[in-house]
Amino acid sequence: MLVVGGGIIGLGVAWRAAQRGLAVAVADPDPGGGAARVAAGMLAPVTELQYGEEPLLRLGMASNERYAAFAAELTELTGLDTGYRATGTLAVALDSDDREELRELHAFHGRLGLASTWLTGRECRRLEPMLAPGVRGGLHVADDHQVDGRRLAAALVAACALAGVVFHRAEAVELLVEDGRAAGVRLSTGERVAAGRTVLAAGSRSHLLPGLPDGVLPAVRPVKGQVLRLRMPTAHGPFLSRNVRAVVRGQHLYLVPRADGELVVGATTEELGHDTTVTAGGVYELLRDAHELVPGITELPLVETGAGLRPGSPDNAPLLGPTALADLAAATGHYRNGVLLTPVTADLLADYLATGELPPLASDFTPDRFAPKVPA
Ligand code: GLY
């Protein structure tokens, strides 16, 4: 079988499928690249929960529960650290409107049986002394953690190689369709890679693969996120100990402190096509909002800026499992949750590829949910 796309989703699927005894290849000019190279790596099914997205919550919780073992297995096999840290997350309110919204979110968590704890502003600052004095309260979610997307991608590339996955380091430029079935791809080098089954895991380029018949996959739109990387001082205790997030002027802002001293600040949300330009306005807004949340941030060295493309399906939930084209499956459209959903996507797709049965956990996410409904 062939996986088109060597980002963390494609690599996860390839690795797990190879572990199930399948012969697996991956087509990608730069395996381990993609949106995870930019992403902050928050594992936040609870603090990123949106009203009406309960099925996605179930999937996210299932993936979060697998993360520690997934990361430990990768490290044991490859010797590479994934940067997985069980830090928890603090979502804070900067004014009384934010506080009302967070209180409603807290009540919603309660109705869903999710563990989150309401804290006063003073209690928030006791946990994170660098927070602005004006913080009005917050929610502590002890089970929303973090992983380093770059380290995770490197460990997945190594684990795939150890499991016998073959890498074709070139772009897939055409899906081959023979007798109404997917039959592999043609690469930019001209080589044809034949495959009994093909998995499309090419993020926001998935539906653009030439040769893909109309209507097989809905459009997966690119949603740009600009992200900053700063360096925290190591002396005098931690600058931040856990993920901190807030909604500032309607934008989701988060700060993710890594064990190695990197502080990731994200992210803008921009629908501008396949554009990954870092703009002065994007950097300004992130620094302005982060400064409101943690004023001391302006003292830190700014070491990197970048932009990635979240792959957004029409309903912002992933596309998992078989498509209307025989022998073509999808693993894409993970939007804001690609890093979080990597372990569960890998397991679900590997199950499907090994047994022909898609596990029930994936049933809300099959691509056919977008097929036109034919009246009975
Ligand atoms: N999950 C964080 C983001 O998409 O910005």
Contact by Cβ (8 Å): 358, 365:
no
Residues 26, 173, single domain; the answer is yes
Q: What is the mean pLDDT of residues 245-252?
A: 86
Residues 112, 216, single domain; the answer is no
Residues 329, 187, single domain; the answer is yes
Contact by Cβ (8 Å): 256, 144:
no
Which pTM value belongs to this model? 0.96
> CA 297, CA 228: separation in Å to the nearest integer?
12
| Ligand 1 centroid to residue 85 C-alpha, Å | 17
Is it the case that residue 177 has pLDDT exceeding 70?
A: yes
What are the backbone angles phi and psi of residue 130, rounded to the nearest 5°?
-80, -5
Is it the case that residue 375 has pLDDT exceeding 80?
A: no
Is it the case that residue 247 has pLDDT exceeding 90?
A: no
What are the backbone angles phi and psi of residue 260, rounded to the nearest 5°?
-85, 10
Output the residue whose Cα is nearest ligand 1's atom 2. 336
Contact by Cβ (8 Å): 53, 337:
no
Task: Select from 273, 294, 312 the last residue of a domain.
Answer: 312
Q: Does the residue 22 lie in any domain?
A: yes
CATH number of the structural domain spanning residue 100 = 3.30.9.10
> CA 374, CA 347: separation in Å to the nearest integer?
32
Residue 261 half-sphere exposure, CB side, CA atoms within 13 Å? 11
Q: Does the residue 284 lie in any domain?
A: yes
CATH number of the structural domain spanning residue 319 = 3.50.50.60
> CA 218, CA 204: separation in Å to the nearest integer?
11
H or E segment at 228? strand 221-231
Output the residue whose Cα is nearest ligand 1's atom 1. 336
Is the shortest distance between the CB of 137 and ligand 1 below 6 Å? no
The number of folded domains in the chain is 2
Is the shortest distance between the CB of 311 and ligand 1 below 6 Å? no
Is pLDDT larger for residue 248 or for residue 326? 326
Is it the case that residue 248 has pLDDT exceeding 70?
A: yes
Residues 130, 240, single domain; the answer is yes
pLDDT of residue 202: 97
Task: Give the residue numbers spanning the domain of 280.
Answer: 85-145+221-312
Is it the case that residue 369 has pLDDT exceeding 70?
A: yes
- The pLDDT tens digits for 121-142 are 999 999 999 999 999 999 999 9
pLDDT of residue 51: 86
- The pLDDT tens digits for 273-296 are 999 999 999 999 999 999 999 999
Is the shortest distance between the CB of 267 and ligand 1 below 6 Å? yes
Residues 249, 183, single domain; the answer is no
Residue 374 pLDDT grade (very low, low, confident, very high; cuts 50, 70, 90): low
Residues 121, 157, single domain; the answer is no
Is it the case that residue 354 has pLDDT exceeding 80?
A: yes
Is it the case that residue 73 has pLDDT exceeding 80?
A: yes
> CA 93, CA 161: separation in Å to the nearest integer?
45
Residues 163, 228, single domain; the answer is no
Output the residue whose Cα is nearest ligand 1's atom 3. 336
Residue 316 half-sphere exposure, CB side, CA atoms within 13 Å? 13
Cα pseudo-dihedral 68, 48, 220, 205, rounded to 10: -50
pLDDT of residue 121: 95
